[in-house]
Amino acid sequence: MANYVQINGPLQCTSSGWTPMTGLTLTIPEGAGVQAIVILNVPNPYAVGTDYPGGNFGIAVNGTVLPTVACFTYDSLQPAAAGRRPTTLVVGVPLGSKPQQIQAMWSGVRGSVVNIDSPASMTVILDD
C-alpha cells in the first residue's frame, strides 16, 4: 500500500466549492478500531483575488470532506503581490471495515483563484 503521494504543479483551483486536488489520492486499508494520520502539505500556495483572497484545503474520505480543514487568507483586500502562504493540514481518519479512498481537496475563498506551482504532498501514517 502506498502511503505517500506527491504532485509537482502547476495546479489551479477556480472553484468556490470543494474540488479534488489532481494526483493527491490514496487508499487506506481496513482496520476497525485503528486510526490513520493524514498529512496534507502544501508548502507554497498563493491566491489571487479582489476580496481578501485565500484558499481552503481539506481531506475527503470516500467523497465526504472531513470537518477539520486548513485555510489561508491575505491581510489586504487586494494584495499588490501574491505572497506564499505555506499550509499544512493534519487529520485523524478512523479505519473502517473496508478500504477507504482519501482525496486532498481545495477551494478558493471569496472567489479567489488558488495556485500551486511547486510540489505538494499527502502522507498517511498507520500504526503497525
- The pLDDT tens digits of the residues spanning 14-40 come to 999 999 999 999 999 998 788 999 999
Check residue 5 and report its DSSP letter.
Answer: E
| Stretch 93-102: mean pLDDT | 94
The structural domain count of the chain equals 1
Percent of the chain with pLDDT over 70: 98
Per the CB < 8 A criterion, the answer to whether 52 and 72 are in contact is: no
What is the CATH classification number for the domain harbouring 94?
2.60.120.760
The pLDDT-based confidence of 65 (bands split at 50, 70, 90) is very high
Domain membership of residue 32 as a residue range = 4-126
Count of helix runs (H) and strand runs (E) in the chain: 0, 12
**pLDDT score of 93:** 95
